[in-house]
Structures are given as C-alpha cells and as structure tokens.
Amino acid sequence: MTGRFRRVVAALLIVCIGGIGAPLQVQAGIVSTDTVVAGAERERLTSLLERGDVSAQLRTLGVDPAMARDRVAALSDAEAAQLAAQLDGLPAGGSDFLTVALIVFLVLLLTDILGYTKIFPFTRPAATAK
Amino acid sequence: MHAVSTPAAAGVFILAVALAAGCAAPQISSLIERRPVGLPQTAEITAAPFFPQEDYQCGPASLAAALVHAGREATPESLLPQVYLPARKGSLQAEMLAAARRHRLVAYALAPRMEDLLRELAAGTPVLVLQNLALDWWPQWHYAVAIGYDLDARQIVLRSGVTRRLSMSLDTFEHTWARSGHWAMLALPADRLPATATESAYVSAVASLERIAPAAARQGYATALARWPRSLAAQIGLGNASYAMRDLTGAAAAYLRATSDHPESADAWNNLAQALHDQGSRAPALAAARRAVSLGGPRLPAYRETLDGILRAP
C-alpha cells in the first residue's frame, strides 16, 4: 500500500517536474491518432501517471533519471500501460554470451546426434536423416 | 541471466531439448508441406551487419544490427543507455521498439507467424527475434537477428551472440521462438512498407512514432495511404502529424480528405474544425465543429469543447 502510494506520488512529482509524457502532439481540440487507432477515448491523466510510474521503475532498475525520461517518452500509450502494470513479470532478453554459446553448442550437438545437422566431426547420427 | 553452473542443469536441459528438437515444429512443417506461393525456397541478407554481443547485451547488439541495416548510425554502446536495464541484465521488448522509434524508424511487431518472418527475410529485411533458448521454468531470453533461411535444408540463419553466421534447424528455432510468444520486430525507414504489413498494425506502428518523430510519422502515413488510400486512421494521422509540425495547410487538407472519404467520422470533422479555426477560417470551422457534435459518439465532450473554443474566440 505504502509502496504503491509512494510510486503514485513519485509519478506525480515526475510529471510536475519533468513534464514528461505530455505527448507532444496533444493539442486542445485535436483527437490524437492513438485514440483514433484504438477507437476509444483514453484517460489522459491515467496515461501520464503510468508514464511516471514506468520512469520510476526504470530508475530503480539502474537507469539514469535523464535517460529514463527519454526512454519513457518513446513508448506508445499501450506499451507504457503494459510496463506500468507488469514490468516485473516481463522477459528482459539478455542472456550471458557464455550461456548462449553453451546452449547453442548443446542444441547443435543434440541436433547432430539426432541427424538434423552435421556440424561436429565427432558425432554419429542416431538415425539416418531423411 | 544465470550462468549454467551445474552439470545437473545441463543434463535436464539436454533432456528437454531432446524432447523439443526431436519433434518437428508445427508451423514450419505445415509451411514446408504447402510451400506458399511467392515464398522463395531460400534467401539470405548477406550484407546484414553484425555486432558481437558483450556480457548480457544481446539486445543492444541485435538492435544495432537492425538499425544500421535501416541506414541509421548506431552501435551496441550507443544503444545501451536506451534499452539496457542494469538490474535485470537485459532489455524489454517494448523498449526495443521504442529505441527504433528514437532513430526515426517505424518499429513494426510482426504477426506471430513463421511464414511472415520468412517473407520479410525474402524481401530483404532482417528480423529481430526474441527466443527463449531454454525452458519456460528456466528461461534464457535471447535477442538475435534472423537474416536468411533455406526451406529444403530446413535451416534458418541468424546473427546471434558472438556468432556472425549461425545456421540452426528451423524446427529448433521455432521451438525457441514459440517460447517467447513468437515475438519479432522490424525497424524500417518510414518510406518502406513491411512485406507482410496489415493496415491496422502498420498505421498503429506509425501512430506510436508520431509522438517523438512527427516528420517521420508523416512519411509513414503517406506510405500507408499509398497502399491503403482510404485508411481513415492514416488520413487523420497524416493530418495530426502535419498539425504537430505546425503545417496547418497540410493538416487541413488531410482532414478534408478524411471527411470526404468518411463523412461519418466525427473525429475527422472535429480535427478539421480545429485546423480551420487555427487558420482563421471561422465559418467553415464552425460548420465542421457542428457536424462533429451532431454525429456525436464516445468523444462528444471533446467535440463540444472544440465548438465552444471556436464560438468563444473573438
């Protein structure tokens, strides 16, 4: 509860201080393209809060505050909403290259053994490849 | 994310891959059986750039390859502060899309279909993919760039990790790709339509670009209109991007075209009213605003505000 409250306050402060997330093209009187595409009116305040929320989360994950602001500005409304709701649960692609190299080696070794590939000179296919 | 530390983990992994790799993958099997018309048997973008990844930075490395291929200046180092999350040792998909937009490119998320992926490769566009190389309960997320394939040999070619040209079984690839939800994206200059683009997905991708690069978005809407001349969202988007660039004449022209093709669109009338009003054409602006209000819809309060704004102006 307190955490959530603090995040909302932080989000508000960020909005107030940085003026972030105020979509550049939102003008009085103009219906935005995002709205037309989505076919529904968006709560602009919600969107601002979400962007502030994402920015705060990026900073706790080690992103420089100035960078965090620019990164959030490049998100679409839908992406900002998704990250605000479930950033922790989303995959962050970034395997260590040694792990990747090892896994790829194991996969290729296995496909070699199964007869799908022939990369390593020392493998003998278990079955004849078609 | 975690280093493979124990032989036990490796053993479990081998077993799991054996189960996965042993059976042919569904999409690629059906593709090879039906051989869709117009899909070449083989393709490879040999000129696709390659940046070997360092540490956990397959996201910045893969993205740099896609951006440089699209004609932008980028390196894994320059992208690090745009997509990398130090505490998560990785990059989020949404931020990969956003970083492409920051380079004035349309970031287009592909439909989760192997056929679409291969068609883009055949059209000469490298495809950035997210794979889960291991298992759902022990994920090893990995970004790579697909650059070619060979249907007869049943292989896909990737720029991956520290390997410039990694040839992998299409079945194995499909299994690892399926575990990321078949996620794939393109980064294209706004004057080039993806080979597999659909109207709604493409216009929506351009709309996301409008927020930070209105000039590129304007080009993207023009590209969409060349292919789908009557797209309402692209017509309004063209107007909005022009309006954001303070080109009122261009904006009014685009909205006018939208109201003429889609007289039932209150949004088009509303935006036309605002652009005309800003140009100082009071009478036509009032007429357009009244039309929007009379059509109504979920955004009626916004149309009423536009009308009031015009009425209140001296």
Contact (CB<8Å) B56/A94:
yes
Query: What end-to-end distance do the CA atoms of chain B give, in Å?
Result: 63
Contact (CB<8Å) B180/A91:
yes
Nearest-by-CA chain B residue for A130:
B153
pLDDT band per the 50, 70, 90 thresholds, residue B75:
very high
The predicted pLDDT at position B30 comes to 93
Packing angle, helices B214-227 and B199-210, rounded to 10: 160
Nearest-by-CA chain B residue for A71:
B82
Measured in whole angstroms, how far is the alpha carbon of residue B100 from the centre of its chain? Answer: 9
pLDDT digits (tens, 9 = 90+) for B146-198: 999 999 999 999 999 999 999 999 999 999 999 999 999 999 999 999 999 99
Residues of B in contact with A71 (CB under 8 A): 82-83, 95, 98-99
ipTM: 0.84
Q: What is the enclosing helix (H) or strand (E) of B124?
A: none
Compute the half-sphere exposure of residue B64: CA atoms within 13 Å on the CB side of its CA.
Answer: 24
Q: Tell which residue, A33, A31, A42, has the closest CA to residue B269.
A: A31
Nearest-by-CA chain A residue for B131:
A93
The predicted pLDDT at position A14 comes to 44
Sign of the CA dihedral running B157, B161, B164, B167: negative
The predicted pLDDT at position A114 comes to 75
> Tokens representing B38?
């117009």
Q: Helix, strand or coil for residue B163?
A: strand
Counts of helices then strands in chain A (DSSP H, E) = 6, 1
The one-character DSSP state at B107 is E
Residue A77 backbone dihedrals phi, psi, to 5 degrees: -55, -45
- Least Cα separation, residue A107 to chain B (angstroms): 7
Q: Tell which residue, B128, B178, B63, B268, has the closest CA to residue A31.
A: B268
Query: What is the C-alpha separation between B143 and A100, in angstroms, rounded?
Result: 10
Q: What is the enclosing helix (H) or strand (E) of B247?
A: none
pLDDT band per the 50, 70, 90 thresholds, residue A21:
very low
Q: Tell which residue, A21, A71, A64, A28, has the closest CA to residue A46.
A: A21
- For residue A41, pLDDT over 70 is answered with no
Q: Helix, strand or coil for residue B108?
A: strand
CB-CB contact of B231 with B200 (8 Å): no
CB-CB contact of B161 with A100 (8 Å): yes
Query: What is the C-alpha separation between B283 and B252, in angstroms, rounded?
Result: 14
Q: Tell which residue, B308, B264, B257, has the closest CA to residue B286.
A: B308
pLDDT digits (tens, 9 = 90+) for B249-275: 999 999 999 999 999 999 999 999 999
Higher pLDDT, A3 or A15: A3
Task: Calculate mean pLDDT across residues A39-64.
Answer: 80
Q: Tell me which residues of chain B, numbers 11 to 30, contact chain A at a CB-CB cutoff of 8 Å.
A: 13-14, 17-18, 21-22
B7 touches chain A (CB under 8 A): no
Partnered with residue B150 across adjacent β-strands are B42, B155
